[in-house]
Amino acid sequence: VEEERKLKSQMPIYAGLEDYEILDKMGDGAFSNVYKAVEIKTGKRVAIKVVRKFELNASQAGDKHLNQQFKKKTRVTERANILKEVQIMRGTAHPSVVKLHSFSESDEHYFLVMELMEGGELFHQIVKLTYFSENLSRHVILQVAQGIRYLHEERGVVHRDIKPENLLFERIPIIPSKNPVHRPYDEAKEDEGEFVPGVGGGGIGRVKIADFGLSKIVWDEQTMTPCGTVGYTAPEIVKDERYSKSVDMWALGCVLYTLLCGFPPFYDESINVLTEKVARGYYTFLSPWWDDISHSAKDLISHLLCVDPTQRYTIDQFLAHPWCNAAPAPPPPPTPYIYDH
Ligand code: ATP
């Protein structure tokens, strides 16, 4: 309790956010912070993304003699961008997409009150567990893919920033069981009843897509109209946008690759070399890490990490692939208990 009180007293108070009590900081960005908070009236726990509107000019920020009101401020978050993020999030309702409860603003900040995902980032789960089994990877990636299918096919939205940091787990209760899905990593801990957020004892939480900061509404491929409106857009734009959904499919391939082995398909310390590798689509199924992973999984990844966007799998092709439709392996038979007389 003392710890909690100390933590709370360190939390900032924002004008315009009086209906909420901030409990903890969960995310840290250049111009935004994400907090765990509770709505005072209802007791409902939420996540609040607080986005700064302005930044003091660097040269003046530390100048104590300059009167506050004369300090020049630079707008750091474009209103149009944040409104677009809000518009896209408001228009979506799917179990694999983080919900936006409300949006408000003060003179200094924008506030996005969202559904709280207590299990944290998929990225942290990969770090914690080293890598995921094929069954667990399938369980996770199918949820993400359903979210992408909804965004692409039903909303005409491209996310454009799919990565393990933007895929968040719900917190799930400990259900003691011997679920084979997560046994490769967690078996010992499961017996101790240790809670692993998102991948808790015996069950696996829902995964949802977050951060629509870079997302965009695109053109409908069949009708060649922007989703929801009829436009007068030039063919080169329509042509370009026809393949823009494929950026999410590439990213989905990168996430699936990373889930299965624990490291990303493209990596180099030099940004130039890394860019070159991505541009050429140069990746390998590195031995020994990939030796025991099924051909089917590799086949699926190779159709996603495909440089030509016209050849890359669409979300429907992804979901129809045999690897996505393979039933998880049955649980191992119980070990017979032998009495030793
Ligand atoms: P980025 O630099 O990743 O684009 P950002 O400033 O745009 O960051 P978000 O990506 O939306 O902000 O959030 C930053 C981090 O805050 C996430 O990676 C996640 O760890 C945490 N976070 C965001 N939304 C939620 C949520 N609804 N529930 C729990 N944690 C969240």
- Return the bridge partners of 105, or none: 110
Q: Decide if pLDDT at 21 tops 80.
A: yes
Kindly report the CA angle at 168 between 262 and 100, in degrees rounded to 5? 160
- Write the ipTM: 0.94
User: Between the CA atoms of 272, 277, 280 and 282, what dihedral angle is there, to the nearest 10 degrees?
Assistant: 170
- Return the bridge partners of 121, or none: 168
**Ligand 1 center–CA 234 separation, angstroms:** 35
Query: What is the token pair recorded at 126?
Result: 């990969």
- For position 67, what pLDDT does the model report? 58
The set of residues, in sequence order, having a beta carbon less than 8 Å from that of 160 and lying 6+ positions away, is 214, 215, 216, 244, 247, 248
- For position 179, what pLDDT does the model report? 45
If DSSP states are collapsed to H, E and C, what string results for 156-207? CEECCCCCHHHEEECCCCCCCCCCHHHHHHHHHHHHHCCCCCCCCCCCCCCE
The set of residues, in sequence order, having a beta carbon less than 8 Å from that of 40 and lying 6+ positions away, is 19, 20, 21
**Ligand 1 center–CA 153 separation, angstroms:** 24
- Return the bridge partners of 12, or none: none
Residue identifier of the C-alpha nearest atom 5 of ligand 1: 29
pLDDT in tens, 85-112: 999 999 899 999 999 999 999 999 999 9
- For 314-326, what is the mean pLDDT? 95
In the structure, what pLDDT confidence band is assigned to residue 245 with cuts at 50, 70 and 90? Answer: very high
Catalytic residues: 161
Residue 173 gets the label, from left (phi > 0), alpha (psi -120 to 50) or beta, of beta
Query: What is the token pair recorded at 89?
Result: 């999030």
Residue identifier of the C-alpha nearest atom 11 of ligand 1: 211
- For position 196, what pLDDT does the model report? 45
Among 25, 32, 33, 49, name the best residue to mutate to test ligand 1's pocket (greatest count of ligand atoms within 8 A of Cβ): 49
User: Does the C-beta of 190 come closer than 6 Å to ligand 1?
Assistant: no
- Return the bridge partners of 219, or none: 226
User: Does the C-beta of 24 come closer than 6 Å to ligand 1?
Assistant: no
Residue pair 144/255 in contact (Cβ under 8 Å)? The answer is: yes
pTM score above 0.95: no
User: Does the C-beta of 166 come closer than 6 Å to ligand 1?
Assistant: yes
- For the CA of 31, the nearest atom of ligand 1: 6
Residue 120 gets the label, from left (phi > 0), alpha (psi -120 to 50) or beta, of left
**Ligand 1 center–CA 61 separation, angstroms:** 26
Residue pair 140/259 in contact (Cβ under 8 Å)? The answer is: yes
User: Does the C-beta of 37 come closer than 6 Å to ligand 1?
Assistant: no
User: Does the C-beta of 134 come closer than 6 Å to ligand 1?
Assistant: no
Percent of the chain with pLDDT over 90: 50
- For position 70, what pLDDT does the model report? 56
